[in-house]
Amino acid sequence: MPKTMFEKIWEAHEVRENLLYIDLHLVHEVTSPQAFEGLRMTGRKLRRPDKTVATADHNVPTDGTPAAAMIKDALSRKQVETLEQNAADFGVPVYSLGSETQGIVHVIGPELGLTQPGMTIVCGDSHTSTHGAFGALAFGIGTSEVEHVMATQTLVQNKPKTMRINYHGKLGEGVTSKDLILATIGKLSTSGMTGYVVEYAGEAIENLTMEQRMTVCNMTIEGGGKAGMIAPDETTFEYMRGKPGVPEDFEAAVGRWKKLPTDEGATFDSEINIDATRISPMVTWGTTPGMVIQVTDTVPDPEKMDSPADKEAAERALQYMGLEAGTPMEEIRPERVFIGSCTNSRISDLREAAGAIKGRKVADSVRAMVVPGSALVKAQAEDEGLDEIFREAGFEWRGAGCSMCLGMNPDILIEGERCASTSNRNFEGRQGKGGRTHLVSPTMATAAAIEGHFVDIRNWS
Amino acid sequence: MESISTIEGEVAVLDRSDVDTDQIIPKQFLKRVERTGYGEFLFYDWVRDGEIELEPHPILVSGRNFGSGSSREHAVWALHQFGFQAVIAPSFSDIFYSNSTKNGFLPVVLDDEDCQKIVEAGQAKIDLESQTVSWDGGEASFEIDSEIKRRLLGGLDDIALTLQSEDEIEAFEAGPGGTYGPVTTSL
């Protein structure tokens, strides 16, 4: 019987019904301390340190602070030091602040070659869906489940439903994978994928680079999806070749991985079709990622919304965002620009952003920062001279970490500040209490930094 | 984990949809390394700004897509430690739902109409065994996975239960499945 990629991976990992074996457990400092403590209190071991890896990302300052002990914020320092101690006590490899391979957990997994097709991957972080770009089954879990994986290397799971989204045609010039996923969430809503593992397919997906695919899978959770997946292909194998963690006999592994894609004739619980040629550069206007429109549109009018719940949510969002219905998106003026996060901080994101600058300067009204996703991305960008291009244009060039995506470190918005951000969540207060977030692609963020307002990147010279 | 059978009493109402875990427990409180002490920071910004006021009744009723966003289990800890024992909503995010059931905190899915009736009634009784919610003048049944229900009713520890399958896990690891993926300790 024909099978979906998801079914093949699921079945290969069933220890027994509803007990799934986990191939890789990624750990960070925020959602792990209570799990390690749980192991200590019950006298349990961490079963497979060799399938576990830890890094510090959420709390770390991006100002060049070289070691955990030197983090100024006492609580952040304690959390990162706790991670280091826990990793040492339980034998888990850790890439903490100061390590050459430290970085955002969803950036370092792929760049170290730890993320591979056909695997089950979990992490106490909702953006674990990122790793599905390689044809892995990857999803976020809570701290109780983190402890469960540490103790048993398995998870108790009910089989989720499957969805395939088929993108027909090619993306237009200037339209990125960030716009593709934002447009998808806008269409399906923030709960349209809830309960599903989603496979992204079609010409527009096949044409994406690995890093662009990661952006798509990353934001699956913003549509409520459990996991996002893309079939592995030559693009995948070329990206992985030579990375440190990949199998020694790489060609044999490629042979296995080629059997993973969904079989012809396999059925999904839900199939959605989207015309990729009609997707435009997108900007969020509200306080959920589903509140998103084309950059050429105007701020929506709550009065024209169908359901009372949508109307009320839109009214609250506009008030929070300090926006009026009918305002053209291109007239909105961010004071801050953030290029970074597990969605858009990889080397190709930085190349695209730097490439859009073309000798121009950040507007006087804007403070803009670029935060590489990992220490390796930072080093690579500096080798290529991207840091110079950014600095020359007036962007701040920072150290690796989650930075202003979630405001757990010193990089935050102050009350009322408006930010064009390449991150993934525009929730109230996400980037700092009272901060106003507009989600965009790296090139759209760069253009907003230079012009001082949003522009349609397709018409921007 | 504490066992659950019935939850009964007044309901608190948070009449909003898409309540995300960043609102339930804002980021600055995630720096703690303990499992306790989150209740007082529940909905910190909304409460501090006077946008909402919540009483620690046994049941919270809210809008669709409750608990969306970040996987932080701290959100469940905060709701539970504040005093809620259950939350009723038309839908939940997957991770929040799962996190709730690992903490003896009951997520109940009922449609908009029933949620509204419960809000109007002001109190309700949830009976997990019979999978019903009753209120003055009405009753509705809700779905819950039978295994999750068994574990909640018994207050069972997931890890202890899984470790009873140690032989099966070892057998899996000895087979081809055990060799899949990288060896992190060799990098």
The complex scores an ipTM of 0.97
Percent over 70 (pLDDT), chain B: 100
* pLDDT per residue as tens digits for the range A65-94: 999 999 999 999 999 999 999 999 999 999
For every residue of B12-47, which 3-state class applies, written as one string?
A: EEECCCCCEHHHHCCHHHHHCCCCCCCHHHCCHHHH
With a cut of 80, say whether residue B183 has pLDDT above it: yes
Q: Given an 8 Å threshold on Cβ–Cβ distance, is B32 in contact with A427?
A: no
- Phi/psi zone of residue A407: left (φ > 0), alpha (ψ -120 to 50 degrees), beta? left
Nearest-Cα distance to chain A for B56, in Å, is 24
Report yes or no: A458 and A172 within 8 Å, Cβ to Cβ: yes
Q: Is A31 in Cβ contact with B33 (below 8 Å)?
A: no
DSSP state of B174: H
Please indicate if any CB of chain A lies within 8 Å of the CB of B16.
yes
Cβ-nearest to B22 among A21, A116, A430? A430
pLDDT in tens, A128-149: 999 999 999 999 999 999 999 9
Q: Pull the structure tokens for residue A303.
A: 């009065």
Residue keyed to tokens 């509204």:
B116
**Phi and psi (nearest 5°) for A237?**
-65, -40
Are residues B65 and A190, on separate chains, in Cβ contact within 8 Å? yes
The pLDDT tens digits of the residues spanning B92-132 come to 999 999 999 999 999 999 999 999 999 999 999 999 999 99
A-contacting residues in B 38-97 (Cβ below 8 Å): 45, 63-65, 68-74, 76, 91, 93-95
B186 close to A (CB below 8 A): yes
- State the pLDDT at residue A313: 96
Please give the pLDDT value at position B118.
Answer: 98
Q: CA of B7 to nearest chain A CA: how many angstroms apart?
A: 23
Q: Tally A–B CB contacts below 8 A.
A: 200
Alpha helices in A280-385 (DSSP H): 308-321, 347-357, 375-383
Read off the pLDDT of residues A251-292 as tens digits, 9 standing for 90 and up: 999 999 999 999 999 999 999 999 999 999 999 999 999 999
Res A184 pLDDT > 80: yes
Per-residue pLDDT at B86 exceeds 80? yes
Tokens 């703690």 locate to B32
Whether A18 sits inside 8 A of B147 (CB atoms) is yes
Nearest to A24 among B28, B74, B181 (CB): B181
Maximum distance among all Cα pairs of chain A, rounded to whole angstroms:
63
CA atoms of A203 and A232, how far apart (whole Å): 14
Contact list, B17 vs chain A (CB under 8 Å): 309, 313
**Confidence band of B57 (pLDDT split at 50, 70, 90):** very high
Q: Please answer yes or no on whether A142 and B99 come within 8 Å at the CB atom.
A: yes
**Chain B: closest CA distance from residue A198 (Å):** 14
Q: Rounded CA gap, A450 and A316, in Å?
A: 30
Q: Hey, are the CB atoms on B31 and A30 less than 8 Å from each other?
A: yes
* Cβ distance of A191 and B177 shorter than 8 Å: no
Q: With 90 as the cut, is the pLDDT of residue A31 above it?
A: yes
B100 touches chain A (CB under 8 A): no
Mutate to test the interface with B, among A8, A14, A15, A101 (most CBs of B within 10 A): A15
Compute the average pLDDT of residues B80-93: 98
CB-CB contact of A12 with A118 (8 Å): yes
Confidence category of residue B1, pLDDT binned at 50, 70, 90: confident
Q: Which of A31, A125, A224 sits opposite B93 (nearest CB)?
A: A224
Q: Phi-psi category of B181—alpha, beta or left, where left has phi over 0 and alpha has psi -120 to 50?
A: left
CB contact under 8 A, B64 and A309: yes
Stretch 123-152 of chain B: residues touching chain A, C-beta under 8 Å: 145, 147
Are β-strands A336-339 and A418-421 bridged in parallel, bridged antiparallel, or unpaired? parallel
Closest-CA distance, A367 to chain B, in angstroms, reads 23
- Give the per-residue pLDDT at B133: 98
Q: Mind telling me how many Å the CA of A385 is from chain B's nearest CA?
A: 28
Q: Which of B32, B45, B102 has its CB closest to that of A433?
A: B45
Pick the residue from chain A with its C-alpha nearest to B185. A50
Tell me, rounded to whole angstroms, the distance of Cα A240 from its chain centroid. Answer: 19
CB-count exposure of residue B40 (10 Å: 0-12, 13-18, 19+): exposed
CB-CB: which of A24, A59, A245 is closest to B187?
A: A245
Long-range contacts, B162-168 (Cβ 8 Å, 24+): B162/A19, B162/A148, B162/A151, B162/A152, B162/A154, B162/A156, B163/A151, B163/A152, B165/A15, B165/A16, B165/A19, B168/A15, B168/A16, B168/A19
Share of chain A above pLDDT 90, in %: 99
Q: How far apart are CA B150 and CA B178, in angstroms?
A: 30
The whole-chain average pLDDT of chain A stands at: 97
Inform me whether the pLDDT recorded for A461 exceeds 80: no
Closest CA to B186 of A107, A23, A53: A53
Contact A122, A141 (CB under 8 A): yes
Q: Using CA atoms, how far apart are residues A234 and A232, in angstroms rounded to an integer?
A: 7
**CB contact (8 A) between residue B71 and residue A147:** no
Banded model confidence at residue B179, pLDDT cuts 50, 70, 90:
confident
Minimal Cα–Cα distance from A56 to chain B, Å?
A: 13
List CB contacts (< 8 A) between A224 and chain B: 65, 68, 93-94
| Residue A299 Cα to chain centre, angstroms | 26
- Give the model's confidence band at B2: pLDDT under 50 very low, under 70 low, under 90 confident, else very high: confident
Q: Do B98 and A75 touch (CB under 8 A)?
A: no
Q: A75 contacts in B (CB within 8 Å)?
A: 31-32
Is A151 close to B159, i.e. CB distance below 8 A?
A: yes
Interface membership of B184 toward A (CB under 8 Å): yes
